[in-house]
Structure 1
């Protein structure tokens, strides 16, 4: 072989560029693919979940929900079909943040977020664009932010117009605020 074929450009995270990219020049090609290092030391892992709650109309149901999720490893949970009145953001006794938005009808629909108490200070903004689409913006570092969009999506049995309306709402949520990363979570009814 000639010398030309053995030469390759330096790879971020590779030994030729120590301290840049994924793992401090560990010889791997982690580079930009390994976002955990770039997020900063305080947020090594973000556990997201989504769940169709069926109903969280009463405060007792919320307490039951918290008891169940304490058995899991989670940071943010997007919930659908919460069936609560109005729109509100509260800090629960546990220290977790609870946001909900009422559905079209009191007995059905609605979206919600539960944010673990360890991340409550990182929440920049929380809101909704409709009764089926809510979003949360989380500060990851001083420079990076993450938007999580929770969707209570209609099934294929719903009319096409309703599906198109949800797509418009998702687009509005995606463009509502500029963030570095966006995650879309969804449940169906």
Structure 2
């Protein structure tokens, strides 16, 4: 007869091991259960701001989103002059880039204060495409690309330039995850003519 030593987590030693199951693997512990490790959920949103030209409008936006659960908000039609990253009084990061014409169009981001230290890079490719790189772990990073597409009133060349800008943003830096989001100005309905 072979006598095996008692193994922590087994049914013969009460109070040791994970306490789950009937001792199955004899000593194997469920570290996820023990340390309560669960992947963090990341809440992304996109918003057509119509205008954030003044600081008052930015404060107004922050008041509205304070009632929601969010981590990163991609912004379209920011309509602010220039390009800048600002830490707001709330601790959130606000990045914006103006449009082609002064005080028109533009893209940006608001990053929740809990993630500001994880932001590796925020950059724009054009007035319609910007991206943000967020460190998730030491090994993995996430790229969020915000797009503000031209309306159907613009020529097809503008749309082709937008697709090239999105491609540039995707290939600008290597990240494990890529998300493309924004206001694509899509039209729904039946086809007309030769569409």
Asked if TM exceeds 0.5, the reply is yes
Provide the aligned C-alpha RMSD in A. Answer: 2.3
Secondary structure of 1:118's counterpart equals coil
Residue 105 of structure 1, aligned match among 96, 101, 104: 101
Question: CA deviation digits over 1:82-129, x for unaligned, max 9?
Answer: 100000001000000000001011231000100000000000000000
Asked if residue 59 in structure 1 is aligned to residue 50 in structure 2, the reply is no
Residue 68 of structure 1, aligned match among 64, 84, 90: 64
Asked if residue 154 in structure 1 is aligned to residue 150 in structure 2, the reply is yes
- Detail structure 1 runs of 4+ shifted over 6 Å in the superposition: none
8 Å Cα contact 1:43-1:140 kept in structure 2: no
Structure 2 distance, partners of 1:128, 1:42, is 33
Question: CA deviation digits over 1:68-92, x for unaligned, max 9?
Answer: 0001100000000010000000100
Structure 2 distance, partners of 1:129, 1:77, is 18
8 Å Cα contact 1:152-1:187 kept in structure 2: yes
Which one has the largest radius of gyration? 2
Structure 2 distance, partners of 1:124, 1:43, is 20
Report the TM-score, using the length of structure 1 for normalisation: 0.77
Structure 2 distance, partners of 1:122, 1:107, is 30
Consecutive unaligned residues in structure 1, runs of 5 or more = 1-14, 25-40
Distance 1:91 1:155, change over 3 A: same
Consecutive unaligned residues in structure 2, runs of 5 or more = 1-23, 186-195
C-alpha displacement of 1:154? 1.6
8 Å Cα contact 1:99-1:113 kept in structure 2: yes
Residue 75 of structure 2, aligned match among 79, 103, 106: 79
Structure 1 distance, partners of 2:117, 2:84, is 17
Distance 1:130 1:93, change over 3 A: same
Secondary structure of 1:124's counterpart equals strand
C-alpha displacement of 1:43? 5.5
Match of 1:7 in 2: none
Residue 50 of structure 1, aligned match among 37, 42, 46: 46
Report the TM-score, using the length of structure 2 for normalisation: 0.75
Match of 2:130 in 1: 134
Distance 1:169 1:154, change over 3 A: same
